[in-house]
Amino acid sequence: MDYKKRIESREDSYASGTSFDISYDTCINLSFGLVGAENLGEVSKMVRAATKHCLDEEEKDPNFSLFQYGPPAGPLSTRKELSKFLSEAYCEKVYSEDLFLTNGASNGLNYILSALIEPNGYVRSCIHDVLQNYSTIHRIKNNHTKITSEGCDLAEFEEKLKTLERKSPRTKLFSIAYYTTTVFNNPTGITFSKNVCEGLIALARKYDFFIISEDVYNIYTYKGPVAKRLYSYDRIDDDDYKGNVLSNGTFSKYLSPGMRIGWMELPPRIKEAMVYHGLPASSGGLNQFTMAIVKSMLKLGLAQNHINNMKESLSERMNICVSILHKHLPKGCSFQEPIGGIFIWIVLPVGKSAKQLLPLAKGKYNVFYLCGDVFRASSENCKFENCLRVSISYYTKDKLAIGLRSLCEAIREYVRM
């Protein structure tokens, strides 16, 4: 094949073969937490109305600041609008002074690791798949930390913390980090208990590490009050407060992943390090224009209405999935019924393998899922071989129900083998 044909072939594969576009899949793909097409259609209408509002407002500014390099943390007016929205959504105060606007949680994580952790530092995690590529880019050592039904296994975590070498002197704030989702954990769906959250804060202060808390599903709480994010447990009025937690958020699950909009809540010492680090210090805010459009969505109430509708729709889907699993999942299998979020974690009988099940599920039953072993650190023995994760966010209720029933049939056939 000549060079031109090789390039054309490669471009075709990039265009049609990306794992984040499952619209071409012939099977029901429950592996990714994508936003459904019907929801994105509503976002398209919102963007049109919000963009007009945004540009109309901008014409009143003689400096046309929207199109200029923005402040490193993002415009104060935008952060104030976002803080108002988050305060209502979280049912607790979020301060605009703590906010730092980003272009999504994944890019936020990339920037966090670049700005805050020493090369050859350590990151403990219970969400390994997210950190796989970052480990190489930032020259960090990533290992898995055990998780229980209550959250992080604090005793095991502390024993591992005792063995980690702390680099001194440091050129950055930290040499150790812990990365997790404490509310509707990915992949297990659990929410960390109050005792575990308080224990994590105590360990972070004792061993001088920081915690990156992914807060990306919190608003999708279907039963009971919204759970407190870990950031609020790191209380500034504590005598030993230093600021060891940051909250990494995104609108990807609430509005559109394609808009690349996110934010972080940062304690003072971490925010200072972020503001004066590399990229925003030299080129300004990370997503000036698109975030202004989201600000208009919030001012007009469009985003709030849409997110409420999304929450109601996802709650209905989750109820359908839970009902199907209770009825059709074979004996010996289990799952913890989620009270929010978009994932369900299914546990097969001991000795069974989600990887071995997959060819049967996809080939005969036309359904695909994510195997649990992708969530462990490559340097450690697999802890999740008999586990799998399904997402409820992409398909309509009817198609989702078909997929879950098919998965249960595949599991039933497999466990009898």
Q: Provide the pLDDT for residue 131.
A: 54
The whole-angstrom separation of Cα 246 and Cα 231 is: 6
Q: Model-level pTM greater than 0.75? A: yes
Q: Provide the pLDDT for residue 374.
A: 81
Q: Provide the pLDDT for residue 304.
A: 98
Tens of pLDDT, residue by residue, the chain (417 residues) = 554 554 444 444 333 334 566 665 789 999 988 998 888 999 999 999 999 999 999 999 999 999 999 999 999 999 999 999 999 999 999 999 999 999 999 888 888 988 898 877 777 776 555 555 555 444 566 677 888 899 999 999 999 899 887 766 678 889 889 999 999 998 899 999 999 999 999 999 999 999 999 999 999 999 999 999 999 999 999 999 999 999 999 999 999 999 999 999 999 999 999 998 877 888 888 889 999 999 999 999 999 999 999 999 999 999 999 999 999 999 999 998 999 999 999 999 999 999 999 999 999 999 999 999 887 655 455 578 999 999 999 999 999 999 999 999 999 999 998
CATH H-level superfamily of 3-30+304-416? Aspartate Aminotransferase, domain 1 (3.90.1150.10)
Q: Provide the pLDDT for residue 13.
A: 39
CATH class (in words) of the domain with range 51-302: alpha beta
Any idea where the domains of the chain sit in the sequence? Answer: 3-30+304-416, 51-302
Q: Provide the pLDDT for residue 357.
A: 98
Angle between helices 37-58 and 302-328 (to 10 degrees): 160
